[in-house]
């Protein structure tokens, strides 16, 4: 028995050059999708539960698109805060071709056409009850909702959206949307399916951000997945791929890295993860108290997604992270 270990794992950790040489995963601005909240108000409004995040006006969205391009961020994902006066039980404002989202798509495409635009397909920002679908007698109707989502997706595609991202978790919506896109000539429009989306408490600050928190009656457990389930995510992803999704999303992010890993390993398709509002809020809150180094934890959390096999991360941190990464 040698008195000392022949294998010393620390040898490779001694110098910066060896650490760089053997480093397995890297995070770059190419990995980031900037999640932005937009509103039709005249001035940006801070989101209380998400320090550092404002609801952007169309004007400030234009600046953000240019900033994203300059930072090397490939895409922006849009989430609307809708004036309560425009909401109804059916969420019909989602189908308005001159609504906030279609306008926002055009603003980004005019300012920075090389930025990919990703739009959420779901009714919750637009409904008085805050649910993602059409409700009848307290039940979310699957097929009636899919009909509405198809129309919403077409409105977005006509406005120039690059990526249709259904986040509603209705059954069969990817196939229905894909068919409608093909039939209407949008053969190159991508679909990013929120395939494995869990009924999560981590969405809390987002619901404040888009103004659906006060409205929401009940919970979303009849359509979003049970956090206790892992095998189910594989069936969800498989179905969405068969139905025509180009990319899939796992959501939330950090608490669901096991899901990110199994989806990316099982299917080998572009798998994005969503670092959601509550994850953002937790990091910001601890950093504001001086309990963690916020920038360091932000970058470490984003790198963790790469390690788990994600091809990209949707995150409210995107511009701050990209700025730091570009500084090296």
Min separation Cβ 143 and ligand PBG, Å: 18
Residue 207 C-beta: closest distance to ligand PBG, Å: 6
* Structure tokens given for 74: 């490939």
Helix, strand or coil, per DSSP, at residue 314: strand
**Residues 180 and 206 sit within 8 Å (Cβ to Cβ):** no
Burial of residue 31 (number of CB atoms within 10 Å: 0-12, 13-18, 19+): buried
Helices (H) and strands (E) in the chain, counts: 11, 12
- Nearest-approach distance from CB 239 to ligand PBG, in angstroms: 19
Beta carbon nearer to ligand PBG, 168 or 236: 168
Q: Measure the CA–CA gap between 183 and 79, rounded to whole angstroms.
A: 26
Shortest distance (Å) from residue 248 CB to ligand PBG: 15
Nearer to ligand PBG, 189 or 200 (CB): 200
Nearer to ligand PBG (CB atom), residue 31 or residue 132? 132
Closer CB to ligand PBG, residue 57 or residue 200?
200
Query: Cα 51 to the chain's mean position, in Å?
Result: 18
Locus of tokens 């601890």: 286
Cis peptide before 158 (omega within 30 of 0): no
Q: Which structure tokens are listed for 204?
A: 């809390």
Q: How far is the CB of 21 from ligand PBG (least distance, A)?
A: 37
Q: Indicate the residue among 5 and 216 with the shorter CB distance to ligand PBG.
A: 216
Residue-wise over 182-204: b if at least 16 C-beta within 10 A, else e? Answer: eeeebeebbbbbbbbbbebebbe
Closest CB to ligand PBG among residues 203, 305:
203
Residues at the contact surface with ligand PBG, assessed by CB under 6 A: 120, 122, 124, 132, 167-168, 203, 206-207, 220, 276-277
To ligand PBG, the closest distance from the beta carbon of 102 in angstroms equals 18
* CA atoms within a 13 Å half-sphere pointing along the CA-CB vector of 17: 0
**Nearest to 174, CA basis, from 92, 129, 241, 260:** 241
State the minimum distance, in angstroms, from the CB of residue 23 to ligand PBG.
30
Place of tokens 């406005």: 159
Residues assigned a catalytic role: 197, 251
Q: For residue 174, what are its two tokens?
A: 């990817």
Q: Which is nearer to ligand PBG, 66 or 204 (CB)?
A: 204
The partner residues of 140 in beta bridges, in order of sequence, read 135
Residue 322, beta-bridge partner list: none
Contacting residues for 148 by C-beta, under 8 A, at least 6 apart: 90, 91, 94, 95, 123, 133, 134
182: CB partners within 8 A, 6+ apart: none
């Amino acid at each position: 028995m040698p008195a000392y270990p022949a294998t010393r794992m620390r040898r490779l950790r001694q110098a910066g050059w060896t650490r760089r040489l053997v480093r397995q995963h890297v995070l770059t601005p190419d990995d980031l999708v900037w999640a932005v909240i937009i509103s039709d108000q005249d001035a940006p409004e801070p989101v209380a539960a998400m320090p550092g995040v404002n609801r952007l006006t169309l004007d400030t969205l234009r600046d953000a698109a240019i900033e994203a391009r300059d930072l090397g961020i490939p895409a922006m994902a849009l989430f609307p805060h809708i004036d309560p006066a425009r909401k109804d039980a059916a969420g019909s404002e989602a189908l308005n071709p001159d609504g906030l989202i279609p306008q926002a798509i055009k603003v980004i495409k005019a300012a920075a056409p090389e930025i990919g635009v990703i739009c959420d397909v779901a009714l919750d920002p637009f409904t008085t009850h805050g649910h993602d679908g059409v409700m009848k007698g307290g039940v979310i109707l699957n097929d009636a909702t899919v009909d509405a989502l198809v129309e919403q997706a077409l409105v977005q595609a006509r406005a120039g959206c690059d990526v249709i991202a259904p986040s509603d978790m209705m059954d069969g919506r990817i196939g229905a949307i894909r068919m409608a896109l093909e039939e209407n000539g949008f053969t190159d429009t991508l679909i990013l399916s929120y395939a494995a989306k869990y009924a999560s408490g981590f969405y809390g600050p987002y619901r404040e951000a888009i103004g659906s928190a006060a409205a929401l009656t009940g919970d979303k457990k009849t359509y979003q997945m049970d956090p206790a389930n892992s095998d189910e995510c594989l069936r969800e992803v498989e179905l969405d791929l068969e139905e025509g999704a180009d990319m899939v999303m796992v959501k939330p992010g950090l608490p669901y890295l096991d899901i990110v890993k199994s989806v990316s390993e099982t299917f080998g398709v572009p798998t994005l993860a969503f670092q959601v509002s509550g994850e953002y809020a937790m990091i910001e809150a601890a950093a504001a108290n001086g309990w963690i180094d916020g920038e360091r934890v932000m970058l470490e959390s984003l790198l963790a997604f790469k390690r788990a096999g994600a091809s990209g991360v949707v995150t409210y941190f995107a511009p701050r992270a990209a700025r730091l990464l570009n500084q090296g």
